[in-house]
Amino acid sequence: MNCVADARIEFDVSSVEKVFRTPEEVLQDVDAFWKKETAYQMAVGWSPPGYPIHIGGFREKVEELAKQPLEEREQNPYFRFAKTLVDSITRIRSDGLPHICSYLPRESKLVSTIYLACFIFLGKDKPQFVPSAFIYGGSSCLNVTSNQWGSDENSALNEIIHELYHNGYETHQLQCPLKDEMSTQQLLAHISWQLHNEGMATYVAYKAPHIFPKDNDKDYAMLENPSEVSRLLGNVKKLIRDVSTKLPTDVKEDVIKVGISERAFYVTGAHMARMINDKAGQNMLIESVIKGPKHFLEIYNAQTSPDEQIPL
């Protein structure tokens, strides 16, 4: 198997087209739209515990569109951005895939549809968060109305590098998502998986500025700041201590807050990948994808000083 030659990547913009071209039809039954459209099914399945999809935020935006003539909606910057991304598929295939596959085992499988969506919000009582992109069920979803992009094609394509790497990673490692009920050992396994999975994807996208530059990325800025890396590494170590000594129900929210919202899993994991790549070599980094998160932590700990090691 050849990771690049056998890859099958495509975009699906159909949900965005329905929202912008026929918003009145979407509004006839918003719940049915979310249950029918793959991009929105993925969002519901992916949404983390405690941060459900806020349907009201979606409905409000679509109601605004319904008041506009079709000509105006088709010139909407978000809609035009979605169409631009679809046209970029040749760049992803010719430039992005070889870069992704250079950090994956040769036999990795990259078959993914990148679903484009719009107006996805998370929050119980009000729209609190706007996810930019995520992977669920082996496919990727990118929220074109996220403020992270600023209609910057390269910025979104850099994020797609991140998401597609997850696809290749999952060829070798099972998902270990956060669930409502988890034991201490399951929470620790989740943290290890997050550091490996998100860390590798962040590092591989961080190493792709020559292909798809992404300016002003907060994760990359923190990764390049030794004091920020040290701070987030300390936060991960404290989180692991807390998980090991407290009830799972008492620390699960901190896993989301520290690891995801405050980006500790992403930046610390990318720092670990960088350390392994620089000191043990890229082949060793690739081997960790086959052997799993525990092996990833062991290799990292072997390359760093005792005070920066992560307890297994």
Give pLDDT tens digits for 291-302.
Answer: 999 999 999 999
Provide the pLDDT confidence category of residue 195 given band limits of 50, 70 and 90: very high
Task: Say yes or no to pLDDT of 12 above 90.
Answer: yes
| Residue 175 token pair | 């998902």
Same domain, 84 and 212: no
Residues 164 and 188 reside in one and the same domain: no
> Do residues 136 and 160 lie in contact, with contact meaning Cβ atoms separated by under 8 Å?
no
Which of the listed residues 172, 198, 213 is the one where a domain comes to its end?
172
Do 18 and 159 have their domain in common? Answer: yes
Of 172, 197, 222, the residue that ends a domain is 172
Encode 80-102: b = buried (16+ Cβ within 10 Å), e = exposed.
ebbbebeebeeebeebbbebbbe
- pTM, whole model, 2 decimals? 0.93
Q: Across the chain, what does the average pLDDT equal?
A: 96
| Same domain as 271, residue 155 | no
Do 248 and 161 reside in the same domain of the chain? no
Residue 312 — very low, low, confident or very high, per pLDDT cuts 50/70/90?
Answer: confident
Strand 111-117 vs strand 133-136: parallel, antiparallel, or unpaired? unpaired
Q: What is the DSSP string of 246-280?
A: S-HHHHHHHIIIIIIIT-HHHHHHHHHHHHHHHHT
Tell me whether strands 8-12 and 111-117 are parallel, antiparallel or unpaired.
parallel
276 pLDDT more than 90: yes
Is 272 found in the same domain as 203? yes
| 169-189 confidence digits (pLDDT tens) | 999 999 999 988 999 999 999
Q: 4: pLDDT confidence band, cut at 50, 70 and 90?
A: confident
Q: Are residues 162 and 197 in the same domain?
A: no
| Start-to-end C-alpha separation, the chain | 33
The model's pLDDT over 14-28, given as tens digits with 9 standing for 90+, comes to 999 999 999 999 999
Question: For residue 121, what pLDDT band results from cuts at 50, 70 and 90?
Answer: very high
Residue ending a domain, among 127, 145, 172, is 172
Confidence at residue 5, expressed as pLDDT on a 0 to 100 scale: 83
Residues 30 and 110 in one domain: yes
> Are 232 and 305 part of one and the same domain?
yes
**Do 25 and 150 fall into the same domain?**
yes
Nearest Cα to 203, choosing from 112, 132, 300, 84? 300
Domain housing 61:
1-172
Please check the confidence at residue 1 and state whether its pLDDT lies above 80. no
Q: Domain check: are 24 and 145 in the same one?
A: yes
Structural domain count of the chain: 2
In 3D space, the residue among 34, 50, 48 whose CA is nearest the CA of residue 119 turns out to be 34
